[in-house]
Amino acid sequence: MMNNIPQIPIVKWADEAVEYLRNNGQWFFEPIKDGLNFTTDFLSDALISIPPLIFILILVAFTVFITKKNWGISIFVLLGLALIENLGYWEDTMLTLSLIITSSLISIVIGIPLGILISRNKTMEKVITPILDFMQTMPAFVYLIPAVSFFGIGMVPGIIASVIFSMPPVVRLTNLGISEVSTELIEAADAFGSTPMQKLIKVQLPMAKNTIMAGINQTIMLSLSMVVIASMIGAEGLGVEVFRAVTRNQAGQGFASGLSVVILAIILDRLTQALNVQRHF
Amino acid sequence: MKKIEVRGLTKVFGRNPRLGVKLLNQGKTKKEILEKTGMTVGVNNASFEVNTGEIFVIMGLSGSGKSTLIRLINRLIEPSAGDVFIDGENLSKMNRNQLREIRRKKLGMVFQKFGLFPHRTILENAGYGLEVQGVDKEEIKEKAFEALKMVGLEGYESQYPDQLSGGMQQRVGLARALANDPDVLLMDEAFSALDPLIRKEMQDELIVLQSKMKKTILFITHDLDEALKLGDRIALMKDGIIVQIGTPEEIMTNPANEYVEKFVEDVDRSKVFSAQQVMIKPETIEAERHGPRVALQRMKKAGISSIYVVDKNQNLLGIITAEAASKAAQEGQKDVYAVLDKDVPIVGPDLPLNEVFDLIYDSPIPVAVVRDNKLIGIIIRSTVIAALARNGVKNDE
């Protein structure tokens, strides 16, 4: 019986949609591509131009300050970055960092307003939640195909794929954080005559700050997990080294470059978490 | 002069409030509507007026609709039907901007769980209402300081709410509501989350503050003792309906129905009655005319073991016991001045009965009720017990 139903041409539709957008959407994709190229180039050039020693010292000082003298993490930052430099992955790490910073910033800039929007509009929430589910569960490799179609190879499709894959947490947790603010505080804000905007800025966002920061942390971690995948379409950085080691069956190289990714991940994670625990916001 | 006027205020929670209102108008009860439509009646056709400078208490058990009612007043909850007038202006007909203006200028609110913003300092919390009005920073600071001072929180300005005890947090809540000097205070179970001692302290303080501020206060509580203590008038609510409105005295002495009566039965009468309501006429002797023998004779006749001594103007001089009187008589003394005991327990006529208790239990002699130094009555244990058991003792009993 199942054989009688003709195959639903999802493959064909998807192909045609991508084809159509590639042919007709360049007016839209082209400026994005240029803008992102400029941003990542600028960022990676800037990061690379800082001498490693200076960079390490600045970051360690920043860590000491932000973690309120948590020496364990500070020493880890010092030794971890020194190891990366020692292994010869400094430049790759800076390239990866600029990819993560760019894609995370885009995710945050789009994600937080989207989270705010769905926290105040239940219909929007019902529409957007399944899209977020889709974005997060679709195997990340799949995004590479249309990304290359629209943006060519290089950093930009990598950033776009990272944004799609890593944006959902910040949207979800912004929504959650705002929804969690207790009714009584919302009533208090209303009872004293706040406008919706005053309520958002003076009460809801400050109260939701920790939850939103947790979302940002997850978004950064997810975009880091896209580094290797993005390297398959020409995004420079540590991912390229890992990917090369895999294709050439070089266990040592793979471990060393993988270790650099881990060090970068731990530093980013601890620093964003440290931003979170500061008392009274 | 009436400040707040509420006419036919109704709230039905559910998918079709209009149908709910229609069913209520047809005389269906809350229970019938719930069974028939699944909708909950929060407040059913509430009407009352609150006068300027009055503390109007809305009292009911949980689920009686009192918290919904107070939120209908400032439209934190949108009414399904009915009108709320403040200074003759109909809030129910206002648009968002007009409503916000009224909330900013005329209505202050105090919440059960304080509703303080944890990320703001005490000063910033107190100044919130002014801040959203766009008042200039220095002025906010000044007025917030002023309000905090009024509730006795000087020196805590730069602390955060979680550094303060519950009672102090609610003082901040009160200061926040007072800072922009609104005419009307809405207090939603404001003291219910506090422990009994602090609660009493806050009640006393509210009374003191109110005597200076003369705000119009709408106070919600589930505690009848609190209602009787604070309220100039009390509205009793049940199942969303206001069952009785009256002064504490009216509610106590003349409960409108069984529900109110039941409430009143549970009341700690000791807080309702004052000393003068339970005192009885004292046996006395006049020091100028009567000696120990008269004293003894009167005590014997009345069956008592001590007697109060006054002068001819009824000024209280002291007490003599039967023992002291008979000793003086044997020694042939002509007056009682030598054996007079001046150390007697004294209370004012308006002292609540519960505060008379301690004196009574510690004292072997009756407690004297004194006004302007004159003895106007005495309280003995049996009259107190009678008052607690019944509706009080009249002076001539």
Q: Which of B109, B119, B129 sits opposite A280 (nearest CB)?
A: B119
Determine the residue type at B387. Answer: A
d(CA B245, CA B236): 6
Mind listing the pLDDT tens digit for each residue in A212-271? Answer: 999 999 999 999 988 888 998 988 899 999 999 999 999 999 999 999 999 999 999 999
Name the percent of chain B lying above pLDDT 70: 94
In sequence order, what are the beta bridge partners of B48?
A: B6
CA distance B210 to chain A (A): 21
Mean confidence (pLDDT) of chain A: 91
Q: What is the number of helices (H) and of strands (E) in chain B?
A: 18, 16
Residue A254: Cβ within 10 Å count: 17
d(CA B167, CA B199): 8
The tokens describing B159, both together, are: 């602390």
Residues 6 or more apart from A167 whose CB is under 8 A from it?
A107, A110, A111, A135, A219
Question: Are the C-beta atoms of residues B266 and B59 closer than 8 Å to each other?
Answer: no
| Burial of residue A45 (number of CB atoms within 10 Å: 0-12, 13-18, 19+) | exposed
Q: Residue B397 pLDDT > 50, yes or no?
A: no
Give, as one character, the DSSP assignment of residue A200. Answer: I
Residue A96: Cβ within 10 Å count: 28
**Could B176 and A192 be called an inter-chain contact, meaning their C-beta atoms sit closer than 8 Å?**
yes
Question: Are the C-beta atoms of residues B393 and B277 closer than 8 Å to each other?
Answer: yes
Query: With an 8 Å Cβ cutoff, is B104 touching chain A?
Result: yes
pLDDT at B361: 75
In sequence order, what are the beta bridge partners of B58?
A: B220, B235
Query: With an 8 Å Cβ cutoff, is A19 touching chain B?
Result: no
The tokens describing A195, both together, are: 């406008």
Q: Which of B117, B160, B178 to mutate to test the interface with A (most CBs of A within 10 A)?
A: B117
| Burial of residue A279 (number of CB atoms within 10 Å: 0-12, 13-18, 19+) | exposed
Residue A13: Cβ within 10 Å count: 10
d(CA B88, CA B338): 69
> DSSP string spanning B239-293?
TTEEEEEE-HHHHHHS-SSHHHHHHHHHS-HHHH-BHHHH-BPPPEEETTT--HH
Band (pLDDT 50/70/90 cuts) for residue B393 is very low
d(CA B92, CA B83): 6
Domain ranges of chain A: 23-278
**Could A192 and B104 be called an inter-chain contact, meaning their C-beta atoms sit closer than 8 Å?**
yes
Residue B82 φ/ψ region, left for φ over 0, alpha for ψ in the -120 to 50 degree band, beta for the rest: left
Query: With an 8 Å Cβ cutoff, is A202 touching chain B?
Result: yes
Three-state DSSP class for residue B38: coil
Please report the beta strands in chain B, taking only residues with DSSP state E, as ranges in sequence order.
2-13, 40-51, 55-59, 81-86, 89-90, 107-110, 184-188, 216-221, 233-238, 241-246, 284-286, 306-310, 316-321, 346-347, 367-371, 374-379
Three-state DSSP class for residue B9: strand
Mind listing the pLDDT tens digit for each residue in B37-92? Answer: 999 999 999 999 999 999 999 998 888 899 999 999 999 999 999 999 999 999 99
Band (pLDDT 50/70/90 cuts) for residue B394 is very low
Q: Residue A1 pLDDT > 80, yes or no?
A: no
Cα angle for residues A25, A27, A29 (degrees, 5° grid): 65
Closest CA to B271 of B364, B351, B153: B351
- With beta carbons under 8 A apart, name residues in chain A contacting B111: 184, 187-188
The tokens describing B364, both together, are: 């072997």
Q: Residue B97 pLDDT > 70, yes or no?
A: yes
Handedness of CA A105, A110, A112, A113 (dihedral sign): positive
Q: Residue A279 pLDDT > 60, yes or no?
A: no
pLDDT at B271: 67
Work out whether strand B40-51 and strand B89-90 pair parallel, antiparallel, or are unpaired: unpaired
- With beta carbons under 8 A apart, name residues in chain B contacting A192: 103-104, 108-109, 128-129, 132, 176, 180
Options 1.10.3720.10, 3.40.50.10240, 2.115.10.20, 1.20.1250.20; CATH for A23-278 is 1.10.3720.10
Top-confidence residue, A79 or B271: A79
**Could A193 and B109 be called an inter-chain contact, meaning their C-beta atoms sit closer than 8 Å?**
no
pLDDT at B392: 42
- With beta carbons under 8 A apart, name residues in chain B contacting A280: 118-119, 160
Token pair 């009714």 is found at A183
Q: Which of B109, B133, B160 sits opposite A191 (nearest CB)?
A: B109
d(CA A243, CA A237): 10
Mind listing the pLDDT tens digit for each residue in B303-357? Answer: 888 899 998 888 898 898 888 888 888 888 888 888 888 888 888 888 887 788 7
Query: With an 8 Å Cβ cutoff, is B160 touching chain A?
Result: yes
d(CA A176, CA A183): 14
Query: With an 8 Å Cβ cutoff, is B97 touching chain A?
Result: no
Residue B142: Cβ within 10 Å count: 15
The tokens describing A162, both together, are: 């990272």
Mind listing the pLDDT tens digit for each residue in B307-316? Answer: 999 988 888 9
Token pair 């970051």 is found at A59
Top-confidence residue, B147 or A1: B147
Q: Which of B76, B114, B118 sits opposite A190 (nearest CB)?
A: B76
Mean confidence (pLDDT) of chain B: 87
Question: Are the C-beta atoms of residues A198 and A135 closer than 8 Å to each other?
Answer: no
Token pair 């020694």 is found at B331
Question: Are the C-beta atoms of residues B381 and B288 closer than 8 Å to each other?
Answer: no
Give the chain B residue whose CA is nearest to the CA of A191. B103
Query: With an 8 Å Cβ cutoff, is A180 touching chain B?
Result: no
Please report the beta strands in B60-142, taking only residues with DSSP state E, as ranges in sequence order.
81-86, 89-90, 107-110
**Could A207 and B118 be called an inter-chain contact, meaning their C-beta atoms sit closer than 8 Å?**
yes
d(CA A155, CA A158): 5
Q: Give the count of Cβ contacts less than 8 A between chain A and B.
A: 63
Closest CA to B178 of B136, B231, B129: B129
**Could B132 and A195 be called an inter-chain contact, meaning their C-beta atoms sit closer than 8 Å?**
yes
pTM of the prediction? 0.75
**Displacement of CA B75 from its chain's centroid (Å):** 26
Rg (CA), chain B: 27
- With beta carbons under 8 A apart, name residues in chain A contacting B95: none
Crossing angle of helices A251-276 and A90-120, rounded to 10°: 40
Q: What would the mean pLDDT of A16-33 be, rounded to a whole number?
A: 89
pLDDT at B256: 76
Handedness of CA A251, A257, A259, A261 (dihedral sign): negative
Mind listing the pLDDT tens digit for each residue in A175-224? Answer: 999 999 999 999 999 999 999 999 999 999 999 999 999 999 999 999 99
Query: With an 8 Å Cβ cutoff, is A195 touching chain B?
Result: yes
Q: What would the mean pLDDT of A9-35 be, rounded to a whole number?
A: 90
- With beta carbons under 8 A apart, name residues in chain B contacting A185: 115, 117
Q: Residue B106 pLDDT > 70, yes or no?
A: yes
pLDDT at B390: 57
- With beta carbons under 8 A apart, name residues in chain B contacting A198: 132
The tokens describing A30, both together, are: 């082209």
**Could A194 and B132 be called an inter-chain contact, meaning their C-beta atoms sit closer than 8 Å?**
yes
Query: With an 8 Å Cβ cutoff, is B100 touching chain A?
Result: yes
> DSSP string spanning B303-340?
T-SEEEEE-TT-BEEEEEEHHHHHHHHHTT-SSSGGG-
